[in-house]
């Protein structure tokens, strides 16, 4: 597999995991903020998308790094962190097919960068080598026939959702009405249950791997409902 093919595999992987259209995840060049008397240059971003809600918008960047044997190392993560800062991204993710050195893991944990292994499990010699549209079509066609990747999360990036912030929730509940408290508590219990089921599926103790995107989408939807409910409480107050 070459780097173009791997980027397209990762694009489709993210689209499935995030319930997005493939076209929503772009490959772009972002100009570096121009400084007086210095030459202009661009940051090449393998995969880029925006998400958010009515209040906020988040920029996400991904480095899809295909390796033959070697693992992603500390300098690779340091460079990704620098690019994240330069383009003002909120989240950065490193995807690779091999693994990560201890130095890479240490930097990622310190900087809040997500690390995931995504390995192709199909004969990628049947894919075109350069035409991205044709490669993507081939990947999607193969996905309808067989399992096309193995996924192993190593480290998830910092969660910007208020549904993961106990202090923020506690402060909101202190000023909430009884009805508002009931809604938030029910949603929190629902989120806990959805995460529990997702963990069972990931560990092979319940359901099928094909069910995983359903629960991941439900978790995102419930977390957003919690965020919205807490925002309304604070805004009303």
**Residue ranges per structural domain of the chain:** 3-155, 162-236
Q: What is the pLDDT of residue 192?
A: 87
pLDDT higher than 70, residue 158? no
**CATH classification number, 3-155, choose in 3.40.1350.10, 3.30.70.260, 3.30.450.40, 3.30.1490.190:** 3.40.1350.10
Q: What is the pLDDT of residue 92?
A: 93
Q: How confident is the model at residue 224 (pLDDT cuts 50, 70, 90)?
A: confident
Q: What is the pLDDT of residue 32?
A: 85
Cα(152)–Cα(202) distance, integer angstroms: 10
Burial string for 137-173 (b: 16+ CB within 10 Å, else e) reads: ebbeebbeeeebbeeeebbebeeeebbeeeeebeebe
pLDDT higher than 90, residue 145? no
Residue with tokens 């060049």: 29
Q: What is the pLDDT of residue 160?
A: 40
Q: What is the pLDDT of residue 157?
A: 61
pLDDT higher than 80, residue 166? no
Q: What is the pLDDT of residue 68?
A: 92
Q: How confident is the model at residue 84 (pLDDT cuts 50, 70, 90)?
A: very high
29: which residues sit within 8 A by CB, 6+ positions away? Answer: 42, 43, 44, 45
Question: Over pLDDT 70: what percentage of the chain?
Answer: 91
Q: What is the pLDDT of residue 120?
A: 96
- Locate 50 and state its tokens: 């925006």
Q: What is the mean pLDDT of the chain?
A: 87
- Looking at 39-48, 73-82, 124-133, 161-170, which range is the least confident one? 161-170
Cα(9)–Cα(132) distance, integer angstroms: 10
């Amino acid at each position: 597999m070459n780097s173009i093919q791997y980027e397209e595999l990762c694009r489709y992987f993210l689209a499935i995991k995030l319930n997005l259209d493939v076209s929503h995840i772009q490959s772009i060049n972002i100009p570096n903020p121009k400084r007086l008397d210095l030459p202009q240059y661009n940051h090449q971003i393998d995969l880029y998308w925006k998400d958010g809600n009515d209040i906020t918008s988040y920029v996400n960047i991904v480095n899809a790094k295909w390796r033959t044997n070697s693992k992603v190392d500390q300098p690779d993560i340091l460079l990704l962190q620098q690019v994240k800062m330069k383009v003002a991204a909120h989240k950065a993710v490193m995807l690779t097919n091999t693994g990560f050195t201890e130095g890479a893991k240490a930097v990622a944990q310190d900087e809040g960068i997500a690390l995931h292994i995504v390995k192709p499990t199909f004969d990628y010699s049947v894919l075109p080598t350069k035409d991205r549209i044709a490669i993507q079509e081939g990947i999607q066609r193969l996905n309808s026939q067989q399992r096309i990747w193995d996924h192993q999360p190593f480290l998830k990036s910092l969660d910007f959702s208020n549904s993961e912030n106990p202090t923020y929730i506690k402060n909101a509940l202190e000023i909430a009405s009884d009805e508002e408290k009931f809604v938030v508590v029910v949603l929190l219990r629902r989120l806990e249950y959805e995460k529990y089921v997702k963990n069972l599926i990931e560990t092979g103790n319940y359901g099928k791997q094909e069910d995983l995107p359903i629960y991941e989408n439900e978790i995102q939807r419930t977390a957003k409902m919690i965020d919205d409910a807490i925002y309304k409480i604070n805004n009303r107050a």
